[in-house]
Structure 1
Amino acid sequence: MDRLGNPQLRSAAFVVVNQATGEVILEKKSDSVLPIASITKLMTAMVVLDGGQSLSEEIVITEDDLDTIKGTGSRLALGTRLTREQLLHLALMSSENRAASALGRSYPGGIAAFVKAMNVKARLVGLGDTRFSDSTGLDPTNVSSPRDLVRMVSAASTYPLIRRFSTSSEDHVEIRGRMHRFGNTNSLVRSPEWEIDVSKTGYIREAGRCLVMQARLLNQRVIIVLMDSEGRYTRTADAVRIKKWLEAVGAQRVAGLAPGENG
């Protein structure tokens, strides 16, 4: 970026919004409807919590939870028994696909009823560009726009458990007598330079690398949506560019310079 210009972001579509005022700070192709990959799991979590099922109930990972779309693996072996709360934690923090599948499958009426509830919830929170076909995000027909995802992150931020689970750095889970470490897929939650309240990453080939966050920047809650980033680290680098740019612009305003003015 130049001294007063916009940051040069490498995500194909993005939007940055001041949550309190609704001001759009930065945007590019913010109305584009694109696959959202595991950003889906924020809606999965909201529907699970809205459903009011016991978080302490144990759920068994079955063959129905295997990924037949992308063929991804998992450390949650068949027969693994975890509570609904543990599965929710792994789905949000580590983007565990079998965990998200089991959450949807164990919903009253099964996965079909769960996906219907996801789409109903999407309408209720004003997501006109958003459609869901599964609870994991592996299905590329799960789509949304950056502007819709701002609303989805804002809705997710009202759930204390989603805030806590999506931003926790790691957890150790016993699976078949062995302890396994699961880490957060967003490395920024471990950075002392960031104050993040909601976080979710996503990746499938059709979606590219995606990242959504609610973060506190310049004492304001800001929602960042980055979609279709190329390269493994681009979405994180774009988030850092946004933070540095906002801090630089904020410092210039304090000094009496508005963006676009010469000093």
Structure 2
Amino acid sequence: MCRHFAYLGDEESIGRLLVEPPHGLYRQSWAPRRQRYGTVNADGFGVGWYAPGDPAPARYRRAGPIWADLSFADLARVVRTRALLAAVRDATLAGADAEAAAAPFASGRWLFSHNGAVAGWPDALAEVSRALPPRDLLALEARNDSALVWALALARLRAGDDPGQALGDTVLDVASAAPGSRLNLLLTDGETITATAWGDTLWYLAEPGRRAVVASEPYDDDPRWLTVPDRTLVSASREDVLLTPLKDLAEDLAPAPNEEPRT
């Protein structure tokens, strides 16, 4: 389906994070090692990064394969950042949205990516989408499942949910409406990384006080990479990484025996 990657840590060039590693996201666009669905991620790519003193990230997105974009190679060599989210895309369905369909999606300080697919799209999410204000639906960047999943998560963030609750609740709602969906979500504000493992591979590498990386698969053979169990929420900062089973969130949302259901 896709491969994605988020980084918090010491300042590095985009190229050092994505292009130079022997199995980095750049190479994963044509030779992923652990991708379960699809083999080549050539239907677009995107990079979002944070510059010092500016909470709103910059983005560079294209509709074609990352290896064919010579401008990206030049940009990646010189642009440096302490926080980044990037993705390469294998489209589930062909569409006409070009680079607008490529992650990362953005709003304010947030960057977001979805690795997976919503089963039964678009019919399966017809009811779930009714929870969104009409303006949010009209403002979708693209007509694909990832853009709608982002809108659902963003609505929760705007309502005041913390990132973990926003992604966890979104995954549970979408999975309930569309069983069999693959919902590996990735979110950052430049200070934290929040992710879900739901149906596809996810790994993390942590060096407390220096860096945290969350990615679809390792970019090298460092033995410190750890796999994230399926149906798990990841909350990472430069200091630590916390894993929470998503089933615990489901239990938290369930009403107690004598409690009125939440609305």
TM category (shorter chain) comes to under 0.3
Instruction: Report 1 or 2 for greater relative contact order, CA contacts < 8 Å, sequence distance ≥ 6.
Output: 1
Name the one with the larger strand percent.
Answer: 2
With normalisation by structure 2, the TM-score equals 0.27
Name the one with the larger helix percent.
Answer: 1
